[in-house]
């Protein structure tokens, strides 16, 4: 029974991501939104110099619609991207056929590529949504070459409620709603609420309290996007936060322990734009 429930939650999560990324497949792609937001997040989080990625094999675990895939390809890397959901269709629609891109729809625990094969492993925006984030992290390690680099990020657990963590109040209910119903509701209320949210930000007594109660990923004043793009991004991220079956944020100490238990070296675990970023090297044989 337990394995059946795990499979059901995985299938539900996969359906959510597939629906989301195919609907908003261009929203977060730098070449379509006219920004360098994705490139900057990758470089700042990993510390990688894009000019040094040319010719390297990179495993991208959980590629979504391909926002990071495109950056890695533009840097000259050979990218092996996979996702458990049908979002791989969005990757192919966005990027098309490419001689250095290999895309697979696959399970994070059954990666269809050779072990000890990749110069770098990149996994952003994925681990917190798995049933077992530590196990998912450990499943990546065998595929990295000795001497290769591993870069991940994950949501950070905090003791207080903010705009970005109010979702944990709502998710016990929203994750059980039919995806289509929740999606339509988010698309209806978020565009209407953003204007009110912006007004509330001008009221000192309310600007922190109200956004902590009402989930809306409003990036006005934070991201260099047009009003239409901000609304689309808000719908996308609000739905992303309310729909997944699993969402397990971690502490810095816990994530650092994962890296140590995996036998990695040059460990760098620190706060990042999405919560926590972690980087390390797999020791040479």
Superfamily (CATH) of domain 2-157+249-281: Vaccinia Virus protein VP39 (3.40.50.150)
> 229 CB contacts (<8 Å, ≥6 apart)?
27, 33
| pLDDT tens digits, 214-241 | 999 999 999 999 999 999 999 999 999 9
Bridge partners of residue 271, in order along the sequence: 276
Kindly report the pTM of this predicted structure. 0.93
Residues 167-186: what's their mean pLDDT? 94
Mean pLDDT of the chain: 92
- Encode pLDDT of 142-158 as tens digits: 999 999 999 999 999 99
Looking at the chain, the domain(s) classified CATH 3.40.50.150 span: 2-157+249-281
Q: Rounded to whole angstroms, what are the CA distances from 185 to 53, 176, 192?
A: 42, 14, 11
Q: Which tens digit of pLDDT belongs to each residue from 95-129? A: 999 999 999 999 999 999 999 999 999 999 999 99
């Amino acid at each position: 029974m337990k394995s059946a429930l795990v499979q059901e939650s995985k299938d539900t999560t996969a359906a959510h991501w597939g629906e989301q990324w195919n609907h908003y497949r261009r929203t977060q792609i730098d070449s379509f939104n006219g920004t360098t937001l994705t490139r900057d997040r990758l470089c700042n989080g990993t510390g990688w110099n894009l000019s040094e990625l040319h010719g390297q094999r990179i495993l991208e675990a959980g590629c979504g619609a391909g926002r990071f895939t495109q950056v890695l390809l533009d840097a000259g890397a050979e990218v092996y991207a996979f996702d458990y959901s049908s979002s791989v269709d969005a990757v192919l629609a966005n990027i098309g056929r490419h001689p250095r891109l290999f895309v697979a729809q696959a399970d994070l625990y059954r990666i269809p590529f050779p072990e000890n094969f990749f110069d770098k492993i990149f996994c952003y925006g994925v681990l917190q949504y798995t049933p077992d984030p530590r196990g998912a992290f450990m499943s990546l390690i065998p595929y990295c070459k000795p001497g290769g680099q591993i870069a991940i990020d994950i949501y950070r657990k905090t003791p207080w409620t903010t705009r970005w963590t109010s979702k944990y109040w709502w998710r016990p209910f929203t994750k059980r709603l039919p995806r289509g119903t929740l999606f339509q509701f988010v698309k209806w209320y978020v565009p209407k609420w953003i204007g009110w949210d912006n007004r509330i930000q001008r009221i000192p007594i309310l600007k922190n309290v109200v956004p902590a109660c009402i989930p809306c990923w409003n990036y006005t004043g934070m991201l260099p996007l047009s009003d239409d793009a901000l609304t689309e991004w808000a719908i996308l991220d609000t739905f992303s936060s309310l729909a997944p079956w699993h969402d397990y944020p971690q502490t810095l100490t816990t994530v650092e322990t994962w890296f140590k238990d995996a036998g990695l070296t040059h460990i760098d675990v620190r706060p990042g734009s999405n919560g926590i970023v972690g980087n390390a090297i797999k020791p040479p044989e």
